[in-house]
Amino acid sequence: MEKIIAKLRRSGYRITPARRALIALLIATRAPLSADKIQATLKRKNIRTHKTTVYRELAFLKDEGIAGEIIFGDGKTRYEIAAAHHHHLVCTGCRAVTDIECSKKINALFSKAAHKVKFNMQAHSLEIFGVCQNCH
């Protein structure tokens, strides 16, 4: 967390209590969270933030490359700390999310497929939907 805070300070950004709490929450949370879930969690920790502030901070962190945005096809955008490139297993029962790393061969396959149709791929995301062991 301190590396992220230091990076923001070097870039001239203020570290507000809400910004610090949001970064800490994203670091501590294993699964991507919706803005509503983030706001509710902060509220439970007695950190009062307006919904607009949460969305503005998430957009800021995304623009700074600190947070990543994920959409699992259910109409909700979720956020997680930007870390090493990974993909997700999503349970359609309980909605649990598990991070998985894919081999370089799979990532190369995406690049090759895009190149074949002259598509300039900027990023990719892979979500695999199914049922977890607990819901099975």
CATH code given to domain 2-81: 1.10.10.10
Which uninterrupted H or E stretch holds 128? strand 127-130
From residue 119, alpha-carbon distances to 60, 111, 129 in Å are 28, 9, 26
25/69 Cα distance (integer angstroms): 15
CATH topology of domain 87-130: Dna Ligase; domain 1 (3.30.1490)
Residue extents of the structural domains in the chain = 2-81, 87-130
Answer yes or no: same fold for 2-81 and 87-130. Answer: no
Q: Alpha helices of the chain — where are they, by DSSP H?
A: 2-10, 17-28, 35-44, 51-63, 104-116
Mind listing the pLDDT tens digit of every residue in the chain (136 residues)? 889 999 999 999 999 988 999 999 999 987 889 999 999 999 999 988 899 999 999 999 999 989 988 887 778 899 988 876 778 888 989 888 888 887 788 888 888 999 999 999 887 778 889 999 999 8
pLDDT of residue 130: 93
- Using CA atoms, how far apart are residues 31 and 99, in angstroms rounded to an integer? 8
